[in-house]
Amino acid sequence: MRAQIMEDRTPVYSGTGFSAVAIAKLSAGSEIDVLSSKKVNGSKWLCVSLPDGQMGYLPGDTKIVGGSLSNLNAWKNTERSDAARGIVLGGICLGAGVAAIALMLVMIESAVRSREEIVFPFKPVCLLAIGAILYGGFRILGGIVEYFQSYRD
């Protein structure tokens, strides 16, 4: 997305980390290409291509305008897709855990009916299944919270 810087002396950083340094200062009206957006340690960042071809990062709250999108929409879309990905992963883990427990119950019931000895490591599998259910549940809740927070910010 092509965008224009709105504030004079806007710093562009070499990365998103604590040790990132300013590699350029852009004047108001400078044109950039917003390549992607991401959230790092709770801070929003825009990956941009400068007019000279150099790549850098702008804080997510940098005032830019571009076409029909603003910097707000640029990172919100990424934030929402990350939240949706977390919800799906949580659902997969939760479903796998429930399926594993259901399968173990069927195996136990079958062994009891046939009066056979059970030769399956139930304790470790049961613990892993419960862990998957808990992890999946928390991933789903975290994804839902992150999704709704993207509307609040």
CATH value at residue 41: 2.30.30
Q: What is the pLDDT of residue 153?
A: 54
Whether the pTM exceeds 0.75: the reply is no
| Owning domain of residue 52 | 2-67
User: Rounded to the nearest 5°, which phi and psi values hold at 104?
Assistant: -65, -40
Tally of domains in the chain: 2
Same domain, 80 and 144: yes
For the segment 68-120, what is each residue's pLDDT rounded down to a tens digit? 445 455 556 667 778 888 999 999 999 999 999 999 999 888 888 998 887 77
Q: How many whole angstroms separate alpha carbon 142 and alpha carbon 21?
A: 32
| CA torsion angle 141 142 144 149 (round to 10) | 140
pLDDT band at 47 (very low <50, low <70, confident <90, very high): confident
pLDDT of residue 69: 47
Question: Per-residue pLDDT averaged across 16-42, rounded?
Answer: 85
